Amino acid sequence: MTEQTAANPKRPAIPVALSSASVYPLSVHDAFAVAHDLGYDGLEVMVTNNVTSQDPQALQTLSERYRIPVLAVHAPTLLLTQQVWGSAWSKVERSVDMAGQLGAGVVVVHPPFRWQSDYAESFSQGVRDLADSSGIRIAVENMYPWRMRGREAKAYLPHWDPIEQDYDDVTWDLSHASTAGVASLEGVRALAGRLRHLHLTDGSGSNRDEHLVPGHGDQQAAEVLQYLAGAGFDGTVVAEISTRKAKAAGEREDWLSETLRFARQHLGQAD
């Protein structure tokens, strides 16, 4: 049983959280409100240029206001957040510190970019040491190759695929797997006990990172959840879909509600 479940016996054994990235371009404040209204078990905060997403006191206030715990912090290790929180290690260290302040058990990080060679050289041991000293799991996310003019470019070091890397904890993202041409069910099975965190979404195999509603793509999302439910997975499932194209009133909430129902159904948590 996870620490969060022991503290709140009403929460399912596998919590289903909402990523604040799922409400973009709305704010992290909106993410808390949506998570509360739809019945998610918690939130994964994506640290961005948004000031509130960087402020543990502001996040704690929102968490208490909406009664939605922060279960994970996504470090600002994206290409678009390179100016947030300074150096590569500073991004990870500050994310771990914020997770500790908020009671979140996991920090999600991307593998180093190929131009971050010094960071990449010490990355695997560095995240292990920081996890050991802080008690926070640092789960390295699967990514995908960059393709330009039909050719694959090496964007990450040592690799975009974490399965063969020396990481204690991994985040698996179904949309990233689709873009990479990888089968998620095989991936999560291969990771076994190293799988700490799941980004529930989907993709159609496009070169674009689509973040579709689960079940609308090629990643066997239902089977992945069913496998985790039967395999003793003790991490968190996080809805991370793109709702940027939502236009009609309530459309974003409909997609996020569908994602939550899908997760509950296939984790065996449906009423």
Query: Rounded to whole angstroms, how far apart are CA atoms 22 and 40?
Result: 13
Q: What are the tens digits of pLDDT across the range 2-47?
A: 444 444 445 568 999 999 999 999 999 999 999 999 999 999 999 9
Burial group, residue 187, by CB count within 10 angstroms (0-12, 13-18, 19+): buried
221 pLDDT tier (thresholds 50, 70, 90): very high
Q: What are the tens digits of pLDDT across the range 43-101?
A: 999 999 999 999 999 999 999 999 999 999 999 998 888 889 999 999 999 999 999 99
CA atoms in the 13 A half-sphere facing the CB of 148: 4
Neighbours of 151 (CB within 10 A): 8
168 and 128 Cβ atoms separated by less than 8 Å: yes
Give the 3-state secondary structure of residue 242: coil
The rounded mean pLDDT for the chain is 93
Query: Rounded to whole angstroms, how far apart are CA atoms 82 and 76?
Result: 7
Q: Residues, the chain, total?
A: 271
- Domain range annotation of the chain: 3-266
The residues, any chain, with a CB within 8 Å of residue 105's CB and separated by 6 or more, are 2, 3, 4, 71, 72, 99, 136, 137
Q: What are the tens digits of pLDDT across the range 230-264?
A: 999 999 999 999 999 888 879 999 999 999 999 99
Query: Rounded to whole angstroms, how far apart are CA atoms 213 and 221?
Result: 10
CATH class of 3-266: alpha beta
> Residue type at 59?
L
Query: Rounded to whole angstroms, how far apart are CA atoms 2 and 47?
Result: 24
Q: At what angle do helices 88-102 and 56-66 cross, to 10 degrees?
A: 40
pTM recorded for the entire structure: 0.93
Report pLDDT for 149: 66
Q: What are the tens digits of pLDDT across the range 166-190?
A: 999 999 999 999 999 999 999 999 9
CA atoms in the 13 A half-sphere facing the CB of 3: 8
H-assigned helices in 46-102: 56-66, 88-102
Closest CA to 237 of 17, 89, 3: 17
Report pLDDT for 267: 97
- Work out the percent of the chain whose per-residue pLDDT is above 90: 84
Region of 44 (left: φ > 0; alpha: ψ -120 to 50; beta: rest) is: beta
